[in-house]
Amino acid sequence: MKKLLKWVGIGFIILIVIGVIGSMGSDSKKVGSTTDTTQTSNTKEQPTQETYKVGDKVQMSDIILTVNKVETAQGGQYTKPSEGNQWIDVNMTLENTGSSQQYITTMGQMFVIDGENNQYQVAVTGKRLENAGSLGMDGALIAKAKKTDWVGFEVPKTAKGLKLQYNASFYSNKKILVDLGM
């Protein structure tokens, strides 16, 4: 019984260390060009979450995210979004400026949120199906390398104020918000 409690305690300590490491790193910051950004805040006492624009290069820790282009689609002959919805395809580049590889998961790190804070997860869209053999943005991003690809989302046609939310990790509340102009 003592061994079991010892291992449970060690496991708990490991989880705490992983959480602390995941929450370390810097907040997001814009790098490169000098395009204006907008800030949103609920109250003066809460920290502001900066919202960036399509084309801005935004760095958080060792990752630089750039949303290059945004398109909407209604689907094709064989695949379509659900009735009343549309596909939002986001072309983005992720660059790893660090000295070790980073793991990217679109399902766990990327969302679209609307002006009412409804959250939409990654969806398989026509753009994704065009290059079905590729893993897209998911997987290891080696040190000093970058990936560019499309990530799709399915959202209601009536949704307004759409933003891409990129989360730094599962263990951190640090995120990048990019206004998709929709």
Q: How confident is the model at residue 29 (pLDDT cuts 50, 70, 90)?
A: confident
- Return the minimum-mean-pLDDT range out of 12-21, 83-92, 120-129, 130-139: 12-21
In angstroms, the CA 92 to CA 149 distance is 6
Q: Residue written as tokens 């061994």? A: 3
From edge to edge, which strands make up the β-sheet containing 38-40? 38-40, 49-53, 175-179, 163-167, 110-113, 119-120
Residue 168 pLDDT exceeds 50: yes
- Residues with Cβ within 8 Å of 33's Cβ and at least 6 positions away in sequence, in order, are 55, 56, 57
> In angstroms, how far is CA 31 from the centroid of its own chain?
17
pLDDT digits (tens, 9 = 90+) for 55-66: 999 999 999 999
Band the pLDDT of 30: cuts 50, 70, 90.
confident
The winner for highest mean pLDDT among 73-82, 124-133, 147-156, 172-181 is 147-156
Measured CA to CA in angstroms, residue 154 lies from 39, 56, 162 at distances of 26, 23, 12
Average per-residue pLDDT in the chain? Answer: 81
* pTM, full prediction: 0.74
For residue 33, name the pLDDT band (cuts at 50, 70, 90). low
Residue 28 to residue 164: CA distance in whole angstroms: 14
With cut-offs at 50, 70 and 90, classify the pLDDT of residue 164. Answer: very high
